Structure 1
């Protein structure tokens, strides 16, 4: 879009409070129909609920499904995963510490062993502005490992659009410099690592927009590329919601 066109769009929005934006991409229009074809979309075919779900997760999920904006949809699905970051990270760190202190070779009397324990904790946590934090990317990786089966994700993607798995294998997310991911032929450990990097790099490009930043999302310009990432994250979020549901007894 030319600078003159952008100037006109801004001036119209500034003065009239009306945003004239490009029309939706064709792939955005088709997403709903693809989902409908792979699900039971007739009310008569939908059974009463047999499970209950986390209320916070459902709110984020409904926000994602209700919007036509790929930016909002992506971040809403991401928030489903983000909900678990602190819990899964703490559980993983606790397990790691328990394994070390219960190892028969560990002794609390040996400084070397205590230093090793401190090193484990130090590697996992970091201090920023007097606040103890953890790596969100690592927490995302742990969340994916905990709640998403690669075979289920593959089935979802193949049912939605069989070409997507090859697309993710052959294409980075250009505006985010997010890596390719081979979902079909890689080992699970490599898949989870690539999947977490792709999702997290895309998320960062959406929320960070510093001038000069190499990886950042430009609204409307990058919508087509972002739309390609929505099925992947949607199915990851759905699998996470389902894994954290409870049967109605």
Structure 2
């Protein structure tokens, strides 16, 4: 899938595998098939990736690629907050006998564990940013985007997402680029899954906004690919 841009499908019935109508078979020269890399990938995220390539609908593609990122929210969020908390309680300035310092720790945990009323998870936008920082190198991301679409870098830099006003990406902003990418993806995702009539300016309208959404696919696709590869285990 990664190199051919075609989904690998599983069949449970021979009729599904070999349909009578419209039967067509592509013959592949075995000599052209490359050796499978010696990596072990997480099956669930690979399934989301496969689903994206099995559809021509940009809505399905975007959500499927987004699910690859979302899969790691809890894991990376927990890793980040534990690391930050351990840094604070092991700092020479901290003393459990100092009430102000203990209260400072409690406030830190309270602020960082802002809960989502519906899911009970940590703040999703922050979690997405942590996932991007964990798995994505910005220069590599830019290079891979150029391989798909030479104009994509400038497009994301100069154009907001029209149907949700998701922000542009300042690629040279070392401190803010991850936040901008996270907001662009997350705001777009929200516009896709929410359809309240009072939010017409932040709601995706099928057919009318399809071309605009299609422009966002290279970004989420490359990020999903990098996450799948960088989260894999060498065997």
- So what's the TM-score if we normalise by structure 2? 0.84
Distance, in Å, in 1 between the alignment partners of 2:59 and 2:120 is 30
Segments ≥4 residues shifted beyond 4 Å: 32-36, 127-132
Match of 1:201 among 187, 195, 206: 187
Residue matched to 1:25: none
Distance, in Å, in 2 between the alignment partners of 1:227 and 1:129 is 31
Cα deviation for residue 58 of structure 1 reads: 0.6
Are 1:192 and 2:178 an aligned pair? yes
Distance, in Å, in 2 between the alignment partners of 1:169 and 1:45 is 37
Cα deviation for residue 129 of structure 1 reads: 5.3
Distance, in Å, in 2 between the alignment partners of 1:83 and 1:52 is 17
Distance, in Å, in 1 between the alignment partners of 2:87 and 2:59 is 41
Residue matched to 1:177: 165
Are 1:245 and 2:227 an aligned pair? no
Tell me the alpha carbon deviations over residues 97-140 of structure 1, each in whole angstroms, 9 at most, x when there is no partner. Answer: 11111111111111101110011111111346597431000000
Residue matched to 1:135: 123
Cα deviation for residue 45 of structure 1 reads: 4.6
Distance, in Å, in 1 between the alignment partners of 2:119 and 2:158 is 40
Cα deviation for residue 158 of structure 1 reads: 1.0
Structure 1 residues 42, 94: closer, same or farther in 2, change over 3 A? farther
Instruction: Judge conservation of contact 1:34–1:160 (CA < 8 Å) in 2.
Output: no
Distance, in Å, in 2 between the alignment partners of 1:148 and 1:86 is 17
Instruction: Judge conservation of contact 2:53–2:61 (CA < 8 Å) in 1.
Output: yes
Distance, in Å, in 2 between the alignment partners of 1:162 and 1:42 is 31
Match of 1:126 among 99, 109, 114: 114
Residue matched to 2:207: 220
Distance, in Å, in 2 between the alignment partners of 1:128 and 1:145 is 22
When the two structures are aligned, how many residues end up with a matched partner?
211
Instruction: Judge conservation of contact 2:115–2:123 (CA < 8 Å) in 1.
Output: no
* 5+ residue gaps, structure 1: 1-31
Are 1:114 and 2:110 an aligned pair? no
1:148-187 equivalent positions in 2, closer than 5 A: 148-183=136-171, 185-187=172-174
Match of 1:92 among 61, 80, 92: 80
- So what's the TM-score if we normalise by structure 1? 0.79
Residue matched to 1:229: 216
